């Protein structure tokens, strides 16, 4: 976790994500997941670069299974985009930075 991302749990998910205004990207991850660890630095960099435009949250699926099940997360990393509290998009797997930036910009412009 970095200073630019926020950790969310089953308990804090609604406050941090579904009740939040604007664009929120939630990284469903686990400590044992290699691809999750691979994209973590990219997500941290994007959180810093897009500060004030997007919130990037991280939810550990092992510790927060209720929320993972609610959003049908079956493989990780799964990146779920919320705009004004509504689920608008999902990316599954470790995507390269240009693909993540394109997706963020697409939803910021929408």
> Which residues participate in catalysis according to the annotation?
33, 36
Cα separation, 34 vs 37, in Å, equals 5
| Positive/negative CA dihedral, 100, 82, 93, 36 | positive
> Count of CB atoms within 10 A of residue 3's CB?
9
């Amino acid at each position: 976790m970095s200073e630019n991302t926020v950790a969310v749990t089953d308990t804090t998910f609604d406050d941090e994500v579904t009740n939040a205004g604007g664009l929120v990207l939630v990284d469903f991850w686990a400590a044992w997941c290699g691809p999750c660890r691979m994209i973590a630095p990219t997500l941290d960099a994007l959180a810093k670069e897009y500060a004030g435009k997007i919130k990037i949250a991280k939810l550990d699926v092992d510790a927060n299974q209720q929320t993972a099940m609610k959003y049908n997360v079956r493989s990780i990393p799964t990146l779920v985009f919320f705009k004004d509290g509504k689920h608008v998009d999902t990316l599954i797997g470790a995507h390269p930075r240009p693909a993540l930036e394109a997706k963020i910009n697409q939803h910021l412009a929408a």
